[in-house]
Structure 1
Amino acid sequence: MIKKITTDDLRKMQNKEGLILQGCGGDLQEWQDGINELLANENILLDGSKFENCLSFECNGITCLLFPFEENVKLDTGKLAIWRLRSHSTFGGTWLSDYVPNRLGGYLAEQQKPDCPLIGQDGNIFNLMGIASKTLRRNGMADQATEMCERITQTAGSYYEALNIIGEYVNITSAEDADIDEDQGMVM
């Protein structure tokens, strides 16, 4: 199964490389299988290896596939570079390291999770989600706030799953700690 990711996920892949194909309509598994077969026939994929962990994402209404260069994928990168140039008009192929700076505005610096005083607050999940969202927005992370809320409302199957999602975005702290910090003139 091809995992779907966001463009923000791509922007966090600074030290990775891969082949991105743009405009992949229809069944993505057929795309993965077809590209693997095509690259094997061109002697670009070596020793029977193939791309198994492809990722899909949407950008400007276009479905794209990322074929990540992983240790288990043996490639003739010179032949792949020539193939990519030769087939660009067909597949819109580009490198991950070119796509992110030129299409997405560059890589994201690894952001620290901001502290968020949730312990001691009204435990209603919508209240906690609102506090966490406000904390993210105050820290310049509006996209993450939106993503967090969507994940909670669309995928969380329980209160604890929702709390775990919140914890992926913020450091959950005590409301009492935040009050102490505010008294000392340091707002967290």
Structure 2
Amino acid sequence: MTIKNITTNDLRKMNNKEGLILQGCGGEVKEWVDGINDILTENGILLDDTKFDNVSVFQNEGVTCILYPFDNVHLDVGKLSMWRLQSYTAFAGTWLSDYVDNKLGGFEPEQNKAEKVKPDCELIGQDGNIFNLMGIASHTLKQNGMADEAKEMCSRVTSSGSYCEALNIIGDYVNITDGSEQSDDIDEDYDERQMMNL
């Protein structure tokens, strides 16, 4: 059995996960886990001889809570839902998703986390040669400890089919910013010449 101590911030990162949270679990965590496994097995909720082997313990609002994740267990979810409602006064059981939404303000958006990773890179106003822009973006990534991403970006850019596609690829890795506050568009003839250079 694995018992892991986590924080409420860890819970907010569990997007696309589900589990049962029991609140007010004082005493030995192992006794709680063994007891709940026995109860759910006797009630025909845990199926195929599976049981909760990996649980997480966290504190919130002065209360000890245990998360029983649904990974690697076979459950009769309908029966579990009924048991959760019937035993609420004893265990204050709730779903992970409901707990995070109602008590922690919701899960951290995955999209926002991805956007935070992209460093700012002043490319607007620079020499528009795609290899120059790629070099600047690569340098920015390496400065931010993202050497693997820099290598991947360069590989994708050099195998792209057009100047516009190459710019879009660079934009996947860095936030393209304007260091000179000048955002004149590159003319179409220049685009054509750059395509020839790829």
Structure 2: any 5+ residue segments left out of the alignment? Answer: 120-143, 147-178, 182-198
Q: Name the residue aligned to 1:5.
A: 6
Letter in 2 for 1:44: I
Asked whether 1:68 is paired with 2:69, we answer yes
- Distance in 2 (alpha carbons) for counterparts of 1:21 and 1:84: 9
Equivalent residue pairs, number: 125
- Distance in 2 (alpha carbons) for counterparts of 1:53 and 1:82: 23
Q: For residues 50-65 of structure 1, what are the structure 2 equivalents within 5 Å?
A: 50-65=51-66
Q: Name the residue aligned to 2:30.
A: 29
Q: Name the residue aligned to 2:186.
A: none
Once the two structures are superposed, what CA deviation does each residue of 1:54-106 show, in whole Å capped at 9, x if it has no partner? 11111111110010011x20111110000000000000000011111101011
- Quick one: structure 1 residues 61 and 113, their matched pair in 2 at CA, closer, same or farther if it must change by over 3 Å? farther
Structure 1: any 5+ residue segments left out of the alignment? Answer: 116-170, 174-183
- Distance in 1 (alpha carbons) for counterparts of 2:99 and 2:13: 13
Question: What TM-score do you get using the length of structure 1 for normalisation?
Answer: 0.60
- Distance in 1 (alpha carbons) for counterparts of 2:81 and 2:180: 56
Q: For residues 1-188 of structure 1, what are the structure 2 equivalents within 5 Å?
A: 1-70=2-71, 72-110=72-110, 111=113, 112-113=116-117, 171-172=144-145, 184=179
- Distance in 1 (alpha carbons) for counterparts of 2:28 and 2:85: 24
Q: What is the Cα-based RMSD across aligned positions, in Å?
A: 2.5
Percent identical:
57
Question: What TM-score do you get using the length of structure 2 for normalisation?
Answer: 0.57
Which portions of structure 1, spanning 4 or more consecutive aligned residues, are displaced by more than 2 angstroms? 112-115
Give the 3-state SS of the residue equivalent to 1:54 in structure 2: strand
Q: Name the residue aligned to 1:128.
A: none
Letter in 2 for 1:82: M
User: Radius of gyration: which is bigger?
Assistant: 2
